[in-house]
Each structure stands twice: as C-alpha cells, then as structure tokens.
Structure 1
C-alpha cells in the first residue's frame, strides 16, 4: 500500500513538471528525470524510465500542439 502512495505521489510530481521547459530538449530532460524517478518508485529500471520519459517529454507537446515553441 505504501508503494502505491509513493507511485501516485511521483506521478503527481511528474504531472506538475510535465509542462516545464521552453524547448523540446528541456522537456526531454524533465521527462527523463521524472521517468527515472517514477520507475525507481515502481521498482523498475531507472534507465528504462529515463529513456521512455525523455522520449515522451521531448515529443508529446509537439504532438498535441504542433505550433508549440521549438516544434517544427
């Protein structure tokens, strides 16, 4: 039960930081850090979490809003 609360706490922080960054690189870095933290809390590989989080952080804003700053 405690790990469930930690996971939801980490996801809450991730959601708060999701929009941080003015460029795709900054958003990818924020996504990588958040992905690694969430993976650690979930008992998974931090490296895999960082790779997935970085990829999502870097491209997700451009997918949802192609006119966002830094999207081409």
Structure 2
C-alpha cells in the first residue's frame, strides 16, 4: 500500500512538468533502480550504483528527443 501511494504521489507531481522534465525524472528513476541492482550485484554497493544510474538515466531521459532525431537522420 505504501509503494502504491508513493507511486501515485510521484506521478501526480509530474502533472505540471514539461515533457523534457518528465523524461529526465523518469529516466533518473529508472536509472537509479537499475543502478542500485547492478551496484549490489557487481560491487556490493547499491548507493553508488543508484547515484550513477540516476545521473545517467536523467541525462539520457532529457536528451532522448535529440538522440531519436540523430538516429532518424534529422
């Protein structure tokens, strides 16, 4: 129940954000989760993995439209 409430509150917080901000936030959250898992498995340190994954995910999320345009030849 706590996880569901947290997810609802996080999504409601995105309502007034720009699309770039939403992508950066989503990418950061996904990157942090993935980084925490990989950090735990590879180095035994989920905090470092989450920090690195979150930073990379936020950057990729924010830059996604430019990346897609480059891949499509635009």
Please give the TM-score of this superposition, normalised by the length of structure 1. 0.54
Distance in 1 between residues matched to 2:44 and 2:65, nearest whole Å? 28
Higher Cα Rg, which structure: 2
Shift of residue 23, structure 1, vs aligned partner:
1.5
Gaps of 5+ in 1: 1-21
Runs of at least 4 residues off by over 3 Å: none
Gaps of 5+ in 2: 1-21, 70-74
Aligned to 1:26: 26
Cα RMSD (Å): 2.6
Structure 2 equivalent of residue 41 of structure 1: 41
Higher helix fraction: Structure 1 or Structure 2?
2
Shift of 1:49: 0.4
Aligned: 1:65 with 2:59: no
The CA distance in 2 between the partners of 1:64 and 1:56, in whole Å, is 16
TM-superposed CA distance for 1:44, in Å, is: 3.0
Cα distance in 2 for residues equivalent to 1:41 and 1:64:
31
